[in-house]
Amino acid sequence: MMRAFCFALLVVTVAGCRGGESDQPPVHLIRNMFTQEKGKAYRQDTTGLWADGRMMRTPVDGTVAVGELREDTHFYDGVALPTDSDGGVVMLADGGMPALEPAQFFPAQVKVDGKIPDALRVRGHNRYNIYCAPCHGVEGDGKGTVAFRPDGTTSRGLMVPPPAINSDRVKDLVVGKIYQAITLGVNQDNMPSYAAQIPVADRWAIVSYVRQLGNAVDEHPPGKAVVVLTASAEAGAQLYKSKICVTCHTLDGSKLVGPSFKGLYGKTESTSAGDVKVDEAYIKESIREPLAKVVTGFPPAMPKQEYTDLELESLVLFIKEQK
Ligand code: HEC
Ligand code: HEC
């Protein structure tokens, strides 16, 4: 009896799982909301909701999905503004922004205390062995198994043999170039792009490992920070760049967002608090409390930042020099 019942159950179960497609809704004893009108992705729009008859919609123009805003070109594209040795951005002589270049340095996201942590290289080593070693070789000597037969010479299917990437050539490639090789591929797909396989952070991990294979020493400039130990006009000049005064104040008399520093010291300035003679006290106040006296004809657009006394002294000395 029990056996017959089990057999019947089996027949019913198997028969119910044939997987055929039907336009009819399946039999549901308690239907709840199972057979409501609805649209399904990849299906035709049967609701008449959309004029083009497609159920799956494209994103609204100009919108960005959460987490997909890829504004940080250094991290995502491997390109950055060229910087000088202190990490400050060098503006063009005409005050414009220079063009983006393959980044010289690793992006902040993969650094800890301004340095590449060992864990990143370890991860890079692991990913390298999976994605790069088949062509470039475990040692980075270009003798990967895809390119060469075990006897060491014959090139297999690749039109161009992969170069050694423990060589001087790669030592000379800035980190952004190696990142771009992974992201964009090299020379019309002689090496294909690995962007689809390797997430962004892992690409940087691989870059750090490739630099190690090439015995390249990476400098990690202190970012935008300039530490002032003695007040001086030179320190002021550094701060002028690193504290981004340069984006709003020129040194040549031309007007940007704020007044030029040229000839500022000693002149009489018309401000929201009346005419003021520009002396050290006024400059310090202008920097520490930008809204205390707003220069006539300019917006109250100067950001308030924190400064040490030495930084302030240095900025004053620097501005004094701009005759
Ligand atoms: C399918 C084989 C293959 C794989 C896998 C591969 N490469 Fe390449 N790679 C090449 C070839 C071939 C070239 C030379 C292309 C040329 O010069 O036209 C190359 C060139 C390069 C260059 C030199 C770019 C230059 O400007 O000189 C770098 C750096 C590089 N690859 C890094 C990598 C890294 C990192 C990986 C792993 C993510 C990787 N490659 C995976 C085949 C490969
Ligand atoms: C975002 C743009 C912006 C930045 C960045 C900025 N400033 Fe300003 N600054 C202004 C504007 C606009 C004014 C004029 C309005 C005012 O007085 O607040 C001004 C005014 C001043 C004045 C008074 C000038 C005068 O003609 O009397 C001084 C001094 C000054 N800034 C110094 C600095 C220094 C030093 C830095 C960097 C540490 C800096 N500013 C960064 C926009 C900026």
HEC sequence for 4-20: HHHHHHHHHHHHHCCCC
pLDDT score, position 19: 62
For ligand 1, whether the C-beta of 185 sits within 6 Å is: no
Asked whether residue 171 carries a pLDDT value surpassing 60, the answer given is yes
Closest ligand by atom to 188 CA: 1
**Does the Cβ of 245 fall within 6 Å of ligand 2?**
yes
- Centre of ligand 2 to C-alpha 290, Å, is 7
pLDDT digits (tens, 9 = 90+) for 247-274: 889 999 998 889 999 999 999 999 999 9
Percent of the chain with pLDDT over 70: 84
Model confidence at 40: pLDDT above 80: yes
d(CA 271, CA 174): 48
- Does residue 178's CB lie within 6 angstroms of at least one atom of ligand 1? yes
Q: Write the residue with the smallest CA distance to atom 3 of ligand 1.
A: 135
What sign does the CA torsion over 161, 167, 173, 175 have? positive
pLDDT at 230 over 90: no
Q: Which segment of 131-140, 141-150, 215-224 scores lowest on mean pLDDT?
A: 215-224
What gap in Å lies between CA 97 and CA 90, rounded to an integer? Answer: 8
The answer to whether residue 222 scores a pLDDT higher than 50 is: no
- List of residues 6+ apart from 140 with CB closer than 8 A: 164, 165, 166, 170, 210, 213, 214
Measured from the CA of 247, which atom of ligand 2 is nearest? 5
Task: For residue 302, report the distance from its CA to the centre of ligand 2, in Å.
Answer: 5
Q: Is the pLDDT of residue 322 over 90?
A: yes
**Maximum mean pLDDT: which of 68-77, 180-189, 237-246:** 180-189
Taken in order of first residue, the domains within the chain and their CATH numbers are 72-224 (1.10.760.10), 233-321 (1.10.760.10)
Q: Give the ligand at the shortest distance from the Cα of 240.
A: 2
Which pLDDT score, from 0 to 100, does residue 199 have? 93
Ligand 1 contacts CB of residue 207 (under 6 A): no
Query: Which residue would you say has higher pLDDT here, 268 or 308?
Result: 268
Does any ligand 1 atom lie closer than 6 A to the CB of residue 130?
no
How confident is the model over 277-284, as a mean pLDDT?
96
Q: Is the CB of 300 under 6 A from ligand 2?
A: yes
Residue 62's pLDDT is 85
Average pLDDT of 301-310?
85
Of 169-178, 269-278, 310-319, least confident by mean pLDDT is 169-178
In this predicted structure, what is the pLDDT of residue 143?
A: 85
pLDDT over threshold 70, residue 154: no
C-beta atoms surrounding 195 within 10 Å = 13
Question: What is the number of the ligand closest to the CA of 298?
Answer: 2
Q: Evaluate: CB of 257 within 6 angstroms of ligand 2.
A: yes
Where residue 59 falls among pLDDT bands split at 50, 70, 90?
A: confident
Q: What is the CA(100)–ligand 2 centre distance, in A?
A: 27
From 121, 191, 204, give the residue whose CB has the most ligand 1 atoms within 8 Å, as the site to mutate. Answer: 191
- pLDDT score, position 68: 78
pLDDT higher than threshold 70 for residue 223: no
